[in-house]
Amino acid sequence: MSKDQLIVFDTTLRDGEQSPGASMTREEKIRIARALEAMKVDIIEAGFPIASNGDFESVKAVAEIVKDSTVCGLARAKQVDIERAGAAIKPANSGRIHTFLATSPIHMEQKLRMSPDEVVEAAAKSVRMARQFTDDVEFSPEDAGRSDPDFLCRVIEAVINEGATTINIPDTVGYNVPHQFGALIKDLIERVPNSDKAIFSVHCHNDLGLAVGNSLSAILNGARQVECTINGLGERAGNASLEEIVMAVRTRQDVFPCDTRLDTTQIMNCSKLVAGITGFNVQPNKAIVGANAFAHESGIHQDGVLKSRETYEIMRAQDVGWSNNKLVLGKHSGRAAFKSRMAELKLEFSSEEELNEVFARFKTLADKKHDIFDEDLLALVNETVIEAENESIKLVSLRVCCETGETPNATMTLNINGEEKQSEASGDGPVDACFKAIEKLTNTGVTLQLYSVNAITTGTDSQGEVTVRIEKDGRVINGQGADTDIVIASAKSYINALNKVMSNAGRTHPQMSAV
């Protein structure tokens, strides 16, 4: 018997971006969207076009570039929102409008101040409007997890009659538990008279740590679309994690009556990209994508795995894209070997010049670092993209002095808009001294909110990858940098963030601007 398809709707670029501090620039959204497309995600929710011009432009840019996934824009049940979403998804090969209106008593009474009859009417009207822009319309009764099921049936029947093709049931506040949420989905599908005309979807938040459990229970009860994010990013405790849902369904095909069309070997790529761009690092013991997810520490486990992998492993690390720190290239590797490994990693170049540029960086790195791993190659591409975006400030040179009992001191030369400038500063540590030296030259007045450093691979010769988050006039901006020297990596990440400040790329919290 052939299995149903489980549609994967990724909302990393919309709900994921609503995590405080996780704002992304248009270019960053495009990079993530390309990675999601390469992973064969069915639908990419690229943003909330009415929230700001930046959000509108990002959704539009993703719609122009992505060809193999449907691109979706979110809209409240309001004409202005729907028109803006319709315009943003217009360039897409396949575009969807996702409109929502709250249906729980508390939201209707306290937030919307609308009667249930008014909500039914507004929901139906919003779908009717959205259908003028696309045939692919999704409706979400917000806070469905705390709504009256009888009322939900009424709203859902009305919006399907107006042409909604996907009905998404959100557990907006993460209040539900699996057996009850599954029963709700089953009940709705059975009781809504026209339920066969739409696909039922779920969108679970993780406030009680149950987002994935609730989503899986819904799938067992008839849901055929799941809304999720890479690394479980999202409002508050996050959304259901894409990698966990997809791998649970794939690994337990004996239990689930459906499967996704995802290329799961792209999961690690996406996870690293999202973690790097947002600065939300993945906890080491996180399922599937955490550094320890496939590590066996105890002697008994190691012995068992060496004798037969299946003794303690239910999935293969390679199937989700772990490269087992394989040595891929070294100092003597040529351009052809480099190009072919990049293609295997699905890292594409827009031109021969770009390939040459990354290859030159590879050679420089190989001079400093004997063994080059896949993770290093990803960081090189990252760095090239980042520097291509950086226009006003460039790092020319950095000298840092640290000695026991002495105050660390940094001497820095930057090229700012074509002019070289030098400064010197002391600090509590080498990174502090370095950031102060940059600030002396740029006078940006930004506040540092987050500084984090991670080793890209194992070993003391590993490159350090630094993420900083800075704030300026309510805008939150992330910056990244990588280098075998972590102080240089820190300077690069700070400069990357400052360049975004200069180019106005950072954004306020997307939903704040839409209230």
Owner of token pair 């406030």 = 207
Residue pair 74/101 in contact by the 8 Å Cβ criterion: no
Residue pair 155/141 in contact by the 8 Å Cβ criterion: yes
Closest among 247, 216, 241, 232 to 317, alpha carbons compared:
247
Angstrom distance (rounded) from CA 9 to CA 229: 8
Amino acid letter for position 337: A
- Counting residues that bind ligand KIV (by CB under 6 A) gives 8
User: Cβ 155 to ligand KIV, closest distance in Å?
Assistant: 14
> Given the complex with Zn ion, which of 221 and 229 has the nearer CB atom?
229
- Which residues, numbered 11-30, are part of the site for Zn ion (CB under 5 A)? 15
**Phi, psi of 22, deg, nearest 5:** -95, 25
Radius of gyration (C-alpha) of the chain in whole angstroms: 24
Task: Tell me if residue 436 falls in helix, strand or coil.
Answer: helix
- Which residues, numbered 91-150, are part of the site for ligand KIV (CB under 6 A)? 100, 140, 142
> Given the complex with ligand KIV, which of 238 and 481 has the nearer CB atom?
238
Residue pair 46/63 in contact by the 8 Å Cβ criterion: yes
> Given the complex with ligand KIV, which of 168 and 409 has the nearer CB atom?
168
Give, in order, the Cα–Cα distances in Å from 121 to each of 103, 152, 154, 161, 273: 12, 13, 11, 12, 42
Residue nearest Zn ion by beta-carbon distance: 15
User: Cβ 205 to ligand KIV, closest distance in Å?
Assistant: 6
Taking residue 257's Cβ as centre, other Cβ atoms within 10 Å add up to 14
User: Cβ 390 to ligand KIV, closest distance in Å?
Assistant: 33
Angstrom distance (rounded) from CA 196 to CA 485: 59
> Given the complex with ligand KIV, which of 114 and 305 has the nearer CB atom?
114
User: Cβ 140 to ligand KIV, closest distance in Å?
Assistant: 4
User: Cβ 170 to Zn ion, closest distance in Å?
Assistant: 6
> Given the complex with ligand KIV, which of 142 and 376 has the nearer CB atom?
142
Give, in order, the Cα–Cα distances in Å from 32 to each of 86, 93, 431: 22, 18, 29
Element (H, E) at 378: helix 374-389
Binding mask 203-242 for ligand KIV (x = CB under 6 A): x-x-------------------------------------
- Which residues, numbered 272-301, are part of the site for ligand KIV (CB under 6 A)? none
> Given the complex with ligand KIV, which of 126 and 140 has the nearer CB atom?
140
User: Cβ 432 to ligand KIV, closest distance in Å?
Assistant: 39
- Which residues, numbered 13-52, are part of the site for ligand KIV (CB under 6 A)? 15
User: Cβ 224 to ligand KIV, closest distance in Å?
Assistant: 17
Query: Of the listed pieces 9-17, 161-169, 337-345, 481-489, which binds Zn ion according to CB under 5 A?
Result: 9-17
Write the burial class of residue 459 (CB in 10 Å: 0-12 exposed, 13-18 middle, 19+ buried): exposed
What, of Zn ion, ligand KIV, none, does residue 100 touch, CB below 5 to 8 Å by kind?
ligand KIV
Distance from first CA to last CA of the chain, Å, rounded?
A: 48
What, of Zn ion, ligand KIV, none, does residue 286 touch, CB below 5 to 8 Å by kind?
none
User: Cβ 167 to ligand KIV, closest distance in Å?
Assistant: 11
What, of ligand KIV, Zn ion, none, does residue 266 touch, CB below 5 to 8 Å by kind?
none
Angstrom distance (rounded) from CA 466 to CA 495: 11
Q: Look up residue 133 and give its DSSP letter.
A: T
Angstrom distance (rounded) from CA 370 to CA 445: 40
Binding test (CB under 6 A) with ligand KIV, winner from 12, 104, 172, 176: 172
45 sits near Zn ion (criterion: CB under 5 A): no
User: Cβ 246 to Zn ion, closest distance in Å?
Assistant: 18
Judged by the rule CB under 6 A, the positions of this chain that interact with ligand KIV are 15, 100, 140, 142, 170, 172, 203, 205
Judged by the rule CB under 5 A, the positions of this chain that interact with Zn ion are 15
